[in-house]
Structure 1
Amino acid sequence: MPWYHRRTGTGHIVEVVPEMTVRKLVVCGLLVLLGMTPSGGVDAADPDGPAFLRDVRPIFKAHCFRCHGAGNTEGEFRLDRKPLAFKGGETGKAIVAGQAADSLLVQMIRGRGPGDSRMPPEGEGRGLRPDEIRVITEWINRGAAWPDGIDDQADRLSLWSLRPIRRPKIPTVQDRAWAENPIDSFVLAQLDAREMTPSPRAQPRHLVRRASLDLLGLPPTPEMVDGFVADGAPDAFARVIDRLLANPHYGERWGRHWLDLVRYADTNGYEVDGVKPLAWKYRDWVIGALNSDRPYDRFVTEQLAGDEIAGATTESILATGFHRVGPWDAERGASVQKSEVIAELFNELDDMVSTTSQVFLGLTMGCARCHDHKFDPLTARDYYSMVAVFRGLKREHKGRAELARAALPPVQLAGKDLKSQPQGYFFFEPSPTPPVTHLLKRGNPNQPGVEVSAAVPAALVEKQPAFEAADKFTSRRRISLARWIMSEDNPLTRRVIVNRVWQYHFGTGLVRTANDFGVRGSLPTHPELLDWLAGWFGNEAGYSLKKLHRLIMTSRTYATSKRAIPANVEKDVDNLMLSHFPVRRLEVEAIRDSMLAVSGRLNDRLYGAPMYPFIPKDALRSGYNPAGVWKPFNETEASRRTVYSFLKRTLVIPFLETLDFCDTARSADRREVTTVAPQALELFNGEFVNRQSRHFADRIIAEAGPVLGDQLDHGFRLALGRKPTRGERASLLGFLSNESLLLLGEDHRRFERETNGDPAAELAGEITETGLTLWLDAANGVALNNQRQVSRWTSRVGSLVATAHGDPLVTARAIGNRPAINFEGKDWFSLDKSPVTSQQFTIIAVVTDRGAGGQRGSHRNVIGNWDGGRGNSTTSIFLGTTAGSKGGRAIRLTDAFSHREKLAVTKPVSPFVLTGIAEAANVRVFQNGQLLDELKSPLPARKLDTNWTIGRQGTLDSEYWNGLMAELLVWNRALTEAELASAWRHLGSKYKVVNHRKPREPLTVAAARRQALIQVCRVILNLNEFVYTD
């Protein structure tokens, strides 16, 4: 049936009426012209009386739905749905079929309701005309015929997104030369109607940067920019787009957009937040499917029912990870009640239904879980009919081989080598007969109502599609739903996906509410363009997303400059009509990946297990990180693209969170864009940006040489695709020269203090508190009892407290005329908490060692967590000394690194700084800054959860320290070389201990220039031009 549209001045569709109604209006108009009127609003010759859809419902809609429709149910009465209308409301039964006089509805519209009330009430619009009252009265007296399904048909008439997709004629515009493809004709027609002129074409450099960031999330290389600028062929930009679409980084960039929609993360969320085994296999499937340009109909079908399609493969089954990557409460302890398990089951089903409806249909079906949708034509019955589609899915907790068997269709298992198959953790249907689904009263799983069957929401179809019969393996319900979702009878899916692609290119969709095409969603700004694109995508493009990208990006609309014309802004401040290209900030992934790319450190390895970006230890402690789920930082791995990050729902990576990463608990149709102070701190002084600034500077020096001007040119070209302007160049050259001189002068003064023994040299070294968990200083935090013995020793950082055992005393002028604790062979301290929770750590102590002192055994322990009773002997951590085989002293750092002759201590009775450090790839011990020995492999895994002691070997009544201890520091990480040197300088000066570390060399001119260039690189990476699209 053709549709007739009435539009506002902005082109929005505001009303649709069927052809029959239009003809009736024409007939009525002719009657008026002839001096005739229809009797009572009904054709007097009509023997059947008023027809509901033709005569009655328009009256209800005009006068009643505002207060008694989906959006409002005053008096608990709705008149837009047959069952609810006949049920009545708070004041009684509104419609009594065949008895208009007894129907409260008729009494109210005549002004004879209770207390002489009338509807609509006074002040709420005019009352019904006499002819309208006669129509309703006659309709009720004749039996109040209200055909089943008529409400859904009427809803389809009123909601724009449910109407069939039309193929509108491409508008004819005056400036035909400007319209380079059909998109431009639709856009220019809207601009012409508002007397607006589009902005000029963007500069070639801006255009190629825009395209590269859009499709790859990476800036173009200088060679790519130069090549495009020099290529004057008409199809030059089209060829650039083709090369970008063929680049495998495309799948990573657009795969991340899709992962936002499907609420992807690697853990379950909630309190336990357990890891989803191999969830990243689904992430890799998405990236691969987009790179191969899998047709969108196949892309959708495999995710919903990859195990039910003909010729299902392990790859298509991986696609069904769509159902399991959302959040769920995986806690299943013995104390969990059956009712809680059932409630969680329906929460998981709600996640599936809500995500499926939002992602593919642009509808918020989750709102109908407890009651009919308040705004959209979706009922609770519709919702549970969708639940029934997924009701047969089951999630199992099994081992690797069992998971693979669950993931593979039984028909394919014969002769398969499971070890060679892609592994994953999937929902699957253990039976072709799913459990019965009931409509739950107010969404309560413990109050089942009527039984419902799997079906498509009634308002979305004129006739329910037939669901396939179950086979011997599955119910075939999901494949039936998928086929309807991608059928031509469904107008939503194509509109929704082309709108999403448009949004990611322009920052805002043609429909601004990309996940909500319902009543409360936005109307399309260019409805004809949306329908034209949807039709073109399904027909001419064959559901190819890459062809859709190419069409959009080769339009003149996409190529316009970002600079707005002032007259246009006055008419369209939000740029909804696209008179210029919208400027927008890049997503955090594109910012991070772009920094890695220009610094030369991007690891472009595709696919595979997640990587773990750097997270400060404080953030790890504040987040839920059981059993060290977050793996140690490895820069090479962590330099992969951000899409490969391990995403833990209860421990968001601070860099990502600060720059508006998506909420993984729901389908995220767009990223929020905030501007807050922590973003400036993160981008200008964060660990990641500082590291990339150093790498960026080193790359510039290596590739551009020592000339400062050449370095600036190269840095700008790498990051921005251009050379600096004359003003930028002059300012930055001046800064580089001045800053280098300042750095050289400051270093020269510091070097003199260090080498001449100036007492102020202590200022040249400092203790870094990053990762410092224990800092015991005999001059601070020591509590004494009545006998002047030490009772407690409190850390200067954190909250750790060491409780004394034995009779330790404080010697006031011990080491370097500073206080120290005197351990005499039976004195020790117990710590209330563990200072080490990482396999990488640093321990530094300022001590003297008197030897065994007559005690049993030759070992002496400074600190450790040895506990043989709890199975932590050879796997414990400890730092101490022992008698060497040649009569000297040797340092012990765990059982895995001891009894080595190289570890001999020089003059142990004299004060010395003892250091043990376990790094990611090696272990080292030092005395007074001098390396004694090194193990060029990581320590075997240490057991960290037993109690820690100071001055004794754990729970042993032996191996006591015999000597002084002035200071003890423990870091929950490996210090850098610079941090070690700084700490040794500080402690050496403080305690007058000779630092045997080779004196550092004074800062050279080249090193000073490098430090200044690092600061310039940090500025470049913070420019708006770098973090915003052109």
Structure 2
Amino acid sequence: MKLPYSLLMHVFYRSLVFSCLSAYFCLNLAGEDEGFLFFEKKIRPVFAQHCYECHSAKSEKLKANLLLDRKEGWIQGGDSGPAINPGKPENSMLMKAIGYHDNDLRMPPKRKLPVEAIRDIENWIAMGAPDPRNEPIGEDLGNDLLRAKAPEEGRKYWAFRPLSAPVIPSIENQNWPADPLDHFLLAKLEDQGLRPAQPADRQVLMRRIHFDLIGLPPSPEQIEDFLADSDPDAFSKVVDGLLASVSFGERWGRHWLDVARYADTTGGGRNKPFPNASLYREYVINSYNEDKPFDRFVREQIAGDLLHSSTDRESNENLTALGFMALGPHNYELQDKELLRMEIVDEQMSSVGRAFLGVTMGCARCHDHPFDPIPTSEYYALAGIFRSTNSMVMGNVANFVERELKDGHDGERKIHAKRQKALEEKLKNAESKLKKLVLPSDSMGILVDDSDADLVGEWKKSTFVKGYQGLGYIHDAAEGKGRKKVVFPANIKRSGIYEIQFSYTSGPNRSKSTPVSVFHRKGVKKVMVDQTKPPSIQGSFVSLGTFPFETGKRKVVTVSNEATSGNVIVDAIRLVPQFDSKEAHALNQKAERNLGLERERMQLQIMELKQSIELHKKHSPPQVVKVMSVSEREEAGDWHIHLRGGIRNLGPVVKRGFLAVATPVSRSPTPDIPAGASGRLQLADWVASIENPLTARVYVNRVWHHLFGRGIVRSTDNFGEMGDRPSHPKLLDHLAESFIRNGWSTKELVRKIVHSKAYRMASNGNAKAERNDPENQLFSRQNRRRLEAEAIRDAILTASGRLIPSRTNPNLARSIFLKIDRNQIPEMFNVFDYPNPGVVSGKRNVSSVPTQALFMLNSKFVLDETKATAERILAASEEMEDMQRIELAYILCLGRKPTREERSLALAYLDKSRGEVSEVDSWSGLIHGLFACIDFFYLN
């Protein structure tokens, strides 16, 4: 579609407005948490193991005046200046030292770091060297570097306090609340002398609730019905319908897949595909649609294989749920398998900690957690549970664990396999018998099959034309003329005269002059064979003549495809002795005739058996389906502390257990784990317990974040000391307690929140509230939120009318069903802040960059759907006027009718563009502008 200059300028202007305004409305959140996680997992252990001996406050003698046990140390640098230039590894002294690029500067001096460690440090510096260690240069880090807070002290922190139902606060404006949660927000607003925003416009609310609950825009008919419905329960009816829609699971399942670091490949160098990862995705979607209690959802993803299952379906769900444990971005090529095993354990612990508990445990891998009450001993108490879990299959390139699902076809498969084995055994016996038939005794001659010949060049095997010797014949496929040869050797046990016979299958597409050379005692004889003619001896052989031969193993015959046209066929040769009596010769000929008949019968039997086997395979029962999973390890048991994080620097053994600070005082953090068990079942019960102070708080905060654009705790994945404090701690506890009381139901939680007055507020607050609370910390108004990449794509496809519910066509299916290759994220997803699928992401970054506007301007996908939307509008009704079509365009794209000014601008644009382009292109330009505008990308 070629757009005129005026139209391009119009679209570009709208796109530019989008880019600039979104910079105002959004914060470009850098992935600081992700960088800190990388440091804790990959960098701190290397520094602790290889560098602290000479470059820490505890070094007996500090080398080069360089400290690497704190951020200020490498910033200040040592005798040679700053050790690291953040963002520029090529200009960093540290990279020069660990890379051994200078003989006078090598760190560590005794042995170079592993390649993986050097690569990790380079990547860390390239990402800006994020480092959470903020201790000043002069501070003593203690006798053992760090000491975690005691559990009693840690429980004073808000996140680790036991959960209880707070008293609903009193308020002045008793008419405003629609739900108890409104009391908590209004009480804070009234304390500040503020009042909440007005209710959102019904069109705005309709678009908001559709995207929030199902990730799709409302249809024009749904908008019209809602606006016309004067029933006080009109909004409730819409909510109930959306909660019951299968699209609810697709929308909210996508939120969880961010947390579960879902992808279809491992990423990294080999980038192995995850087989049937989509089954985990379907499990998540179905769990949300079925409103599976969240505590059950948690248990299944940690220890599904250990839960009781009453049906095959339940058993399969439990196994599939364990995909959560297997989805980590691991380097299965790593040759140090003990290191790989521990990296998998560390990643699983980090993911469970952040996904379910909102805590970062990686800091405790090398030393006690510097901020949260997590000692190293408790880190390895948990590690013992994960080490007792089988998460990989050993090999040169290791693999993830796969487990079979139940489908009720086991009996059929056993019967089918038994029948298959019997048929294959019959075939094997028949082929063996046939081979013996073509190996006659010396008195009948010496037969050499093509399978025993030496081949030069590529020859094709075939059994297409019957009458061959052995198990088939070969041909040159009429290719590579002059470059292919077959050499037949023979073991001649008696000197004398032999007739040399050559076997082939004839046909009209064969070579008419195939050169066959016989190597005998007196020299070489070359014979040209016309393979279009049937062989004259028993329909299988032609005579090449009689020749004298000495005893011994030697080359006897060569067949070449030089200077031939058509297919050269090679089957076998036969040496028939000419020194026996006439009577013996006659008997041999009779035996050969009988042998030929028996051979043909066996060849027919073999052909029928092969057909039976193929037919049997076609009617086989469904193949067993396997899912990525984990299992109990035979060598389950407690494990050592890794001193300074070194996998071979083992300290004392610690009993398997949990975080004491999140365990009720009345219970032990080290439960009794049955012999041979990993402890995963006990861990799952602990995480999903109503007594765990973190799990419910973390989850309801994420739900609030998805409905308000910001959590009550902004740091959705970090409830620790380094995370944000809750703006409304009592509201958070009210939601968590209500969530548990309602059976851990996500749908009831969502229903509760969206029916509140708080959710239904407009995003434009009153002047005083916006002035006194510019960041909307008090939730005096709804937050204006940009749609995610998937919602943008799905909204475009919905507007064009081409979105399909089926997964069969990924180009037109919902975005959740697109393949996520960790090494090649879809372009649109990357442009619009798709999260790193290798880490837990409860909150997406929101950026505003020029590439977003350029993508909307130039993307083939956007241009194609723009045209399809224009065609849909033009095809709606021939009787429609431009004004009606403009209204339809706005409703399809923006979920609202145009203002009077927008109608005038659209009409003026259409009138001007029609003189330059076709009607479809004219409307396409208008749609393109709507797709590029702020109101399309944002929820008000």
Which bin holds the TM-score, normalised by the shorter protein?
A: 0.5 to 0.7
1:427 to partner: Cα distance: 3.5
Paired residue type of 1:1020: L
- Separation in structure 1 between the aligned mates of residue 647 and residue 412 of structure 2, nearest angstrom: 40
**SS at structure 1 position matched to 2:884:** helix
Give the corresponding residue for 2:384: 388
- Separation in structure 2 between the aligned mates of residue 201 and residue 416 of structure 1, nearest angstrom: 62
Cα displacement string for residues 254-298 of structure 1 (whole angstroms, at most 9, x for unaligned residues): 111111111111111111111111111101100010011000011
1:557 and 2:758 aligned: yes
Question: Would the alpha carbon gap of residues 603 and 1011 (structure 1) be closer, same or farther in structure 2, given more than 3 Å must change?
Answer: same
The 5 A counterparts of 1:110-129 are none
- Separation in structure 2 between the aligned mates of residue 689 and residue 678 of structure 1, nearest angstrom: 14
1:1014 and 2:924 aligned: yes
1:504 to partner: Cα distance: 0.5
Question: Would the alpha carbon gap of residues 503 and 421 (structure 1) be closer, same or farther in structure 2, given more than 3 Å must change?
Answer: farther
1:720 to partner: Cα distance: 2.1
Give the corresponding residue for 1:1025: 935
The 5 A counterparts of 1:283-302 are 283-302=281-300
Indicate conservation of the 8 Å contact 2:351/2:840, yes or no. Answer: yes
1:656 and 2:860 aligned: no
1:544 and 2:745 aligned: yes
Cα displacement string for residues 427-474 of structure 1 (whole angstroms, at most 9, x for unaligned residues): 332545426522111111121221122200122222325645447xx6
Paired residue type of 2:907: L
- Separation in structure 2 between the aligned mates of residue 329 and residue 426 of structure 1, nearest angstrom: 16
Paired residue type of 1:738: K
Question: Would the alpha carbon gap of residues 413 and 742 (structure 1) be closer, same or farther in structure 2, given more than 3 Å must change?
Answer: closer
Indicate conservation of the 8 Å contact 2:365/2:644, yes or no. Answer: yes
- Separation in structure 1 between the aligned mates of residue 289 and residue 304 of structure 2, nearest angstrom: 19
Give the corresponding residue for 1:346: 342
Give the corresponding residue for 2:453: none
**SS at structure 1 position matched to 2:710:** coil
Which of residues 670, 676, 684 is equivalent to 2:857? Answer: 684
Paired residue type of 2:701: N
- Separation in structure 2 between the aligned mates of residue 236 and residue 716 of structure 1, nearest angstrom: 23
The 5 A counterparts of 1:60-459 are 152-311=150-309, 313-331=315-333, 336=335, 340-395=336-391, 407-408=403-404, 423-429=625-631, 431-434=633-636, 436-459=638-661
Identity over the aligned pairs, expressed in percent?
34
Query: Which segment drifts farther, 664-673 or 718-727?
Result: 718-727
Query: Which segment drifts farther, 508-517 or 716-725?
Result: 716-725
Question: Would the alpha carbon gap of residues 283 and 422 (structure 1) be closer, same or farther in structure 2, given more than 3 Å must change?
Answer: farther
Paired residue type of 1:736: L
Question: Would the alpha carbon gap of residues 153 and 324 (structure 1) be closer, same or farther in structure 2, given more than 3 Å must change?
Answer: closer
Paired residue type of 1:165: L
- Separation in structure 2 between the aligned mates of residue 265 and residue 601 of structure 1, nearest angstrom: 25
Paired residue type of 1:499: N
TM-score (norm 2): 0.60
Indicate conservation of the 8 Å contact 1:314/1:421, yes or no. Answer: no
**SS at structure 1 position matched to 2:651:** strand
- Separation in structure 1 between the aligned mates of residue 355 and residue 694 of structure 2, nearest angstrom: 11
- Separation in structure 2 between the aligned mates of residue 165 and residue 458 of structure 1, nearest angstrom: 16
**SS at structure 2 position matched to 1:438:** strand
- Separation in structure 2 between the aligned mates of residue 309 and residue 443 of structure 1, nearest angstrom: 33
**SS at structure 1 position matched to 2:305:** coil
Give the corresponding residue for 1:709: 883
Count of matched residue pairs? 585
Question: Would the alpha carbon gap of residues 272 and 203 (structure 1) be closer, same or farther in structure 2, given more than 3 Å must change?
Answer: same
Indicate conservation of the 8 Å contact 1:381/1:452, yes or no. Answer: yes
- Separation in structure 2 between the aligned mates of residue 420 and residue 411 of structure 1, nearest angstrom: 9
- Separation in structure 1 between the aligned mates of residue 413 and residue 690 of structure 2, nearest angstrom: 40
Give the corresponding residue for 1:510: 712
- Separation in structure 1 between the aligned mates of residue 354 and residue 409 of structure 2, nearest angstrom: 34
Paired residue type of 1:240: V
1:640 and 2:813 aligned: yes
The 5 A counterparts of 1:757-776 are none
Paired residue type of 2:854: L
1:425 to partner: Cα distance: 3.6
CA RMSD of aligned residues (A): 2.8
Give the corresponding residue for 2:46: none
- Separation in structure 2 between the aligned mates of residue 445 and residue 486 of structure 1, nearest angstrom: 30
1:480 and 2:682 aligned: yes
Paired residue type of 2:176: W
- Separation in structure 2 between the aligned mates of residue 412 and residue 485 of structure 1, nearest angstrom: 33
Paired residue type of 1:188: L
Indicate conservation of the 8 Å contact 1:358/1:667, yes or no. Answer: yes
Question: Would the alpha carbon gap of residues 1022 and 411 (structure 1) be closer, same or farther in structure 2, given more than 3 Å must change?
Answer: closer
1:392 to partner: Cα distance: 2.6
Indicate conservation of the 8 Å contact 1:384/1:452, yes or no. Answer: yes
Cα displacement string for residues 471-514 of structure 1 (whole angstroms, at most 9, x for unaligned residues): 7xx61511111111111221110111010100010011111111
TM-score (norm 1): 0.54
Tell me: higher relative CO, structure 1 or 2? Use CA pairs within 8 A at least 6 residues apart. Answer: 2
Cα displacement string for residues 893-926 of structure 1 (whole angstroms, at most 9, x for unaligned residues): xxxxxxxxxxxxxxxxxxxxxxxxxxxxxxxxxx
Paired residue type of 1:716: Y
1:343 to partner: Cα distance: 1.2
Indicate conservation of the 8 Å contact 2:673/2:682, yes or no. Answer: no
Paired residue type of 1:192: E
Give the corresponding residue for 1:464: 668
**SS at structure 2 position matched to 1:439:** strand
Give the corresponding residue for 1:584: 785
Indicate conservation of the 8 Å contact 1:500/1:509, yes or no. Answer: yes
Indicate conservation of the 8 Å contact 1:363/1:516, yes or no. Answer: yes
Paired residue type of 1:384: Y
**SS at structure 2 position matched to 1:674:** coil
Paired residue type of 1:653: P
Question: Would the alpha carbon gap of residues 356 and 562 (structure 1) be closer, same or farther in structure 2, given more than 3 Å must change?
Answer: same
Cα displacement string for residues 576-623 of structure 1 (whole angstroms, at most 9, x for unaligned residues): 111111001111110001100111010112xx6xx8xxxxxxxxxxxx
1:722 to partner: Cα distance: 2.5
The 5 A counterparts of 1:523-534 are 523-534=725-736
- Separation in structure 2 between the aligned mates of residue 424 and residue 350 of structure 1, nearest angstrom: 25
- The unaligned stretches of length 5 or more in structure 2 are 1-54, 60-137, 140-146, 415-620
- Separation in structure 2 between the aligned mates of residue 416 and residue 451 of structure 1, nearest angstrom: 49
Give the corresponding residue for 1:863: none
**SS at structure 2 position matched to 1:672:** coil
The 5 A counterparts of 1:823-834 are none
**SS at structure 1 position matched to 2:816:** helix
Give the corresponding residue for 1:693: 866
Which of residues 689, 694, 697 is equivalent to 1:495? Answer: 697
The 5 A counterparts of 1:934-1013 are 1008-1013=918-923
Cα displacement string for residues 310-335 of structure 1 (whole angstroms, at most 9, x for unaligned residues): 11601111000001112010226xxx
Question: Would the alpha carbon gap of residues 518 and 637 (structure 1) be closer, same or farther in structure 2, given more than 3 Å must change?
Answer: closer
Cα displacement string for residues 528-562 of structure 1 (whole angstroms, at most 9, x for unaligned residues): 111111111101x1100000000000000001111
**SS at structure 2 position matched to 1:241:** helix
Question: Would the alpha carbon gap of residues 422 and 456 (structure 1) be closer, same or farther in structure 2, given more than 3 Å must change?
Answer: farther
- Separation in structure 2 between the aligned mates of residue 247 and residue 298 of structure 1, nearest angstrom: 22
- The unaligned stretches of length 5 or more in structure 1 are 1-72, 78-123, 126-148, 612-635, 744-1007
Give the corresponding residue for 2:906: 732
- Separation in structure 1 between the aligned mates of residue 234 and residue 405 of structure 2, nearest angstrom: 47
